[in-house]
A and B are shown apart, each in its own frame.
Chain A
Amino acid sequence: MNRLGIIVVGAAVIFAIAVPFFLKPFGIYLISMWAVLTIAAMGLNLTLGYAGQISLAQGAFVGIGAYTTALLIQAGWPYPIVFISAGLLCFAIGWGLGYPALRVQHHYLAFVTLAFTTLVFLVLRNEEWLTRGIYGISGIARPTLLGWSTANARDFYFFCLGALTVIAAATWWMLRSPWGRAFIALRENPIRALSLGLDTRRYTLMAFAIGSGLAGLSGALYAPLVQFIEPNSFALGLSFNLLLMVIVGGGGCFFGPFVGALVAVLLPEWMRITQSYYLMVYAAIVMLLLAFCPSGLLGLIERVIKATRGRRGPDGIAPNAERANP
């Protein structure tokens, strides 16, 4: 990350910490939702932006995480264990789902995850004995950690922000490790990667499973944030929404999900007047972006920066490429 990037991120962090003191409860709810959805979007970014697989089940995994959390909290389990369990459960299910689907080429994972999302919805809706069906689960308590109660809106926001920071740091560290290099190689030139001993299937599966696990963690925060969950929140719509977030922000960029989630959370608010049209506009924006700037908003910004800097010549070759071998 270059110096400009560090300054921008630093400013954003300060902004994120300061802003809740100037917002009403609904505003704080929105930024908490942003933090929670960013985690899920980060997971999908791993699957889609790094490993190049389409998952339409990210919303369903958020749902599994949320329901697991709600039920275990109400059964008296301590929150930290619930949090980790939600993540591990979704990781395991993701692995199980992805293992057969990724053996085949041709984006079969997209169909399998589409089917899975609908199945999850049906189970959540029908198995009332477990999930209370369409009546949902209400009164989900916000956790108290080491004596600090997060019941207050602002306190819960800082809890979400803290979780986001830790998860983002862990993901950043993973992407700096050989795994990150492997994901990029897998994305850029899978045939070359395979010929160098890189097990593309294993890495893709790992990216999908981790991505699903992150959705589970997101769900573990979602449940106490909204404090009432029902099956409809986790139907295909949420998976689409997360997919669009990743694209809009910029797939394969580390900060893409942050930007995408911000757009997704704020867009319905900006379009209050035309509220019912917002999904249509959102979808249209995505199609336009894909046509003109597939690397999303961050990619667009990067292009603008490169153009103004003029670092590369018009043919894209770095100036010192001409100093070829003797």
Chain B
Amino acid sequence: MTAVLQVSNLRKTFGGITAVDGVSFEVRDGEILGIIGPNGSGKSTLFNCVLGQLLPTGGQVHVDGKPTTGMRPCDLNRLGVSRTFQLLQVFPQLSVRDNLIVAGQEHQGSMYTRLFGRADAGLGDAADRMIEFFRLSHLADEQAGSLSYGQQKLLDAAMAFMAGPRLVLLDEPAGGVNLTMLANLRERLQAYHSEHKATFVVIEHQMEFVMALCTRVLVLAEGRIIAGGAPQEIRSNPAVIDAYLGHGSARP
């Protein structure tokens, strides 16, 4: 069975600096893969190369067996890959509901049929269901920019799920979120995962979040994968501990 996501020998250099140095891995259907590593290990660069936000210097990316290296993010999204962002998450002046409708509308028909179709592109009910799932119902008509940071993170995830994607890449979903909201976010992600049999890839710093959510973990250091396996194995892997301690970060 072909992997949902297959990254082969991906390389990315900026001038003289090699941020990603020959990374290869596969993501199987239905798993939640975590990618961790100290600062500067190349996690975000790897993500952006997979998602078409950056053009890789070398290597290939395949989604469901189809080559997608260097594809524009919007085309990749229409193949069923979506993402959340560390920063810049929502459309501040649109309402929460409108944010979700935007998130799904490009998958409804063609650009031209949408012009003459319904104003909400037929997504009003789906948006309301998503709002309810993420427990944002009381904020449905509020401007997204007025939401608290944690609520915007939930909205960000909701937007990524709106089009029913095959694969979701989450970029530091727990960053800057308080503990209560974090537990809520993790719980909602797990609920979505089990309901829809979705496949996730998560970059994160926060160990508790990764250990609790992910089924498998890869560790990146200096642009290369240095370890991979179940969360508990990784925790006690000496190479991993070394990578973190060697960079002065806290022990995982």
* Interface, chain A (partner B; CB < 8 A): 174, 176-179, 181-182, 184-185, 188-189, 191-200, 202-203, 206, 312, 316-318, 320-326
Besides A177-B117, A192-B159, A194-B73, 4 more A-B contacts (Cβ < 8 Å) are A181-B102, A195-B51, A199-B111, A317-B148
**A318: B residues at CB distance < 8 A:** 142-143, 146
B23 within 8 A of A: no
Tell me which of A177, A192, A197 contacts B88 (CB under 8 A): A192
Tell me which of A195, A312, A317 contacts B73 (CB under 8 A): A195
Complex Cα spacing A197 to B104, Å: 8
| Contact A202:B83 (CB < 8 A) given known A193-B102, A196-B102, A320-B139 | no
Q: Is the CB of A191 within 8 A of B88?
A: yes
- Tell me what chain A mostly uses at the interface: helix, strand, loop, or mixed: helix
CB distance from B169 to the nearest CB of A (A): 10
Tell me which of B77, B119, B159 contacts A176 (CB under 8 A): B119
Q: Is the CB of A198 within 8 A of B90?
A: no
Q: Is the CB of A197 within 8 A of B72?
A: no
Complex Cα spacing A188 to B51, Å: 21
B8 within 8 A of A: no
Interface size class of B (residues with CB under 8 A): 35 or more
28 contacts between A and B (CB under 8 A): A174-B115, A177-B117, A177-B119, A178-B101, A178-B108, A178-B114, A178-B117, A181-B105, A184-B94, A188-B91, A188-B94, A191-B85, A192-B88, A193-B102, A196-B77, A196-B102, A196-B106, A196-B159, A196-B163, A198-B102, A199-B74, A199-B106, A199-B111, A317-B146, A320-B138, A321-B148, A322-B148, A323-B138
B230 within 8 A of A: no
Q: Is the CB of B146 within 8 A of A321?
A: yes
Complex Cα spacing A189 to B93, Å: 10
**B211: A residues at CB distance < 8 A:** none
**A188: B residues at CB distance < 8 A:** 91-94
Q: Whose C-beta in chain A lies nearest to the C-beta of B144?
A: A188
Tell me which of A181, A194, A323 contacts B74 (CB under 8 A): A194
Complex Cα spacing A197 to B77, Å: 5
Tell me which of B103, B114, B117, B145 contacts A196 (CB under 8 A): B103
Q: Is the CB of B102 within 8 A of A195?
A: no
Complex Cα spacing A325 to B142, Å: 15
Q: Is the CB of A189 within 8 A of B91?
A: yes
Q: Whose C-beta in chain A lies nearest to the C-beta of B92?
A: A188
Complex Cα spacing A321 to B181, Å: 13
CB distance from A195 to the nearest CB of B (A): 5
Q: Whose C-beta in chain A lies nearest to the C-beta of B148?
A: A321
CB distance from B6 to the nearest CB of A (A): 20
Q: Whose C-beta in chain B lies nearest to the C-beta of A206?
A: B111
| Contact A195:B91 (CB < 8 A) given known A181-B102, A185-B102 | no
Among all A-B residue pairs, the 7 with the closest Cβ atoms: A197-B106, A197-B77, A318-B146, A178-B114, A194-B73, A188-B91, A178-B121
